[in-house]
Amino acid sequence: MDYNEVLERARERLAPHCLVCKECNGIACRGKVPGVGAKGTGNSFIRNYEYLSNVKVEMDTIYEYKGQDTSIELFGHTFKAPIFAAPIGGMRFNYDDRISELDYITAVVTGTVMAGCAAFTGDGADDICFLAPLEPIKSVNGLAVPTLKPWKNDKVFEKIKMAEEVGAMAVAMDIDSAGLIHLAKSGKPVFSKTVEELKEIAAYTKLPFIIKGIMSAKVAEKAALTGAYGIVVSNHGGRVLDNTPATCEVLPEIKQAVGDRVKVFVDGGIRTGADVFKALALGADAVLIGRPYAVAAFGGGAEGVRLYTEKLMYELKETMIMTGCADLGDITFDKVRIIK
Ligand SMILES: Cc1cc2nc3c(=O)[nH]c(=O)nc-3n(C[C@H](O)[C@H](O)[C@H](O)COP(=O)(O)O)c2cc1C
């Protein structure tokens, strides 16, 4: 199987929910939530994609060749590249049950590990969204990050315990799900969190704790006070609020605010290895990628996910060669140019 076959198969399996567009830019699926799109006008997703395409890469091929090392250490593990699959949950809700929660998450968790990377996993109104990933996570010796919804803290602690029991390397919380009304409607309300509540969670577990859904320097400052290991600059792929800025637009000011106090991840509109490069140049330590991983899993299972991850790594290396970068530390702000 090659990656083009993965896309073809995904197109057959996903239509009309996801058209597997040549450019996964949020236009064809605008407003489709439930589904794979973004909320309202779909603007937040579209801006993530468009902003990143206005970040251009500066060429430099006059330098001493030292090869390209894309590896990174995070959560006490070494990964081949700073690339993670983003949490995607709710196969029934978003994909009309075309694949079971377990089959989906097994493909993503095992496929990313096969390529030397790892996945974040999701959560939702249906308990299966959080429970299904636990066995696959155990089977890869914990190399994944369960991501919890912002439930009341007693429920959060119960779920963290389950993640610890299967040996997960870290846990995350998508605090930007606080406004998901459908969770409350189905009797599973979620809430905004205070700095104190987040501190309690970070202190409750020995696992690194990551706060997902930060979109400004001011909020990043608050997150950095909680003892969290990292933050994810994310607008949830545009699914929780219409008309936000692009994630890579706010990334440099967030990195400037938090410095090295927390690891900085980013997601939203990242599609290629060149996009990974751009996100790193703008201040991220590593990236998460959402919808394209769903396409890879639907089109080729774990093998599709492995192929997509390897394609990203290849493209990242290629971009590093063309910009004189020997390792990730060389990917600095001056390696890109933002056009209007
Ligand atoms: C169908 C779907 C389901 C998602 N489910 C979750 C989830 O359960 N938890 C979460 O933190 N984020 C969830 N997300 C958001 C992604 O983790 C990620 O932030 C977003 O998709 C990144 O944008 P991208 O798809 O443009 O790469 C979901 C996204 C989609 C498209």
DSSP labels for 296-312?
A: HHHHHHHHHHHHHHHHH
Report which residue type is found at 281.
A
- Give how far Cα 63 sits from Cα of 35, 69, 320, 336, Å: 47, 16, 12, 17
Could you give the residue ranges of the DSSP H alpha helices within 213-330? 217-224, 247-258, 273-281, 291-323
Q: Return all residues near 265 (Cβ < 8 A) that are at least 6 apart.
A: 84, 210, 212, 230, 231, 232, 233, 234, 284, 285, 286, 287, 288
What is the average pLDDT score of the chain?
97
Whether 26 lines ligand 1, by a CB cut-off of 6 Å, is no
Question: Would you give the DSSP letter of residue 86?
Answer: P
263-318 per-position pLDDT tens digit: 999 999 999 999 999 999 999 999 999 999 999 999 999 999 999 999 999 999 99
pLDDT single digits (tens) 78-98: 999 999 999 999 999 999 889
| Residue 182: per-residue pLDDT | 85
pTM value is 0.98
pLDDT value of position 66: 96
Task: Provide the pLDDT for residue 248.
Answer: 98
Separation CA 73–CA 32 (nearest Å): 36
- CA-nearest residue for atom 9, ligand 1, is 122
Q: Helix %, strand %, coil % for the chain, to 5?
A: 45, 15, 40
β-pair type (55-57, 286-289): unpaired
Query: Rounded distance, CA 237 to CA 35, Å?
Result: 12
- Residue 150 Cβ < 6 Å to ligand 1: no
Give the pLDDT score at 115: 98
3-state secondary structure at position 8: helix
d(CA 195, CA 304): 40
Query: 293 to each of 284, 290, 307, 308, 330, how far by Cα in Å?
Result: 20, 6, 10, 8, 27
Return the best residue to mutate from 17, 36, 88 for the ligand 1 pocket (most ligand atoms within 8 A of CB).
88
Q: What domains are defined for the chain?
A: 3-338 (3.20.20.70)
**pLDDT tens-digit profile of 139-195?**
999 999 999 999 999 999 999 999 999 999 999 999 999 988 888 888 999 999 999
pLDDT digits (tens, 9 = 90+) for 11-61: 999 999 899 999 999 999 999 999 999 999 999 999 999 999 999 999 999
Per-residue model confidence as pLDDT tens digits over 202-251: 999 999 999 999 999 999 999 999 999 999 999 999 999 999 999 999 99
Q: Are 325 and 280 in contact (CB under 8 A)?
A: no
Whether 117 contacts 86, CB under 8 Å: no
What are phi and psi for residue 300, nearest 5 degrees?
-150, 15
How many residues are there in the chain?
340
With the most atoms of ligand 1 within 8 angstroms of its CB, the residue from 214, 239, 251, 270 to mutate is 239
Evaluated on CA atoms 148, 13, 99, 5, the torsion sign reads: negative
User: Could you tell me if the CB of 289 is within 6 A of ligand 1?
Assistant: yes
Which residues partner with 209 through β-bridges? 171
Residue nearest to atom 21 of ligand 1 (CA): 290
Residue 279 structure tokens: 């996100």
- CA 61 to ligand 1 centroid distance, Å: 37
Cis peptide before 34 (omega within 30 of 0): yes
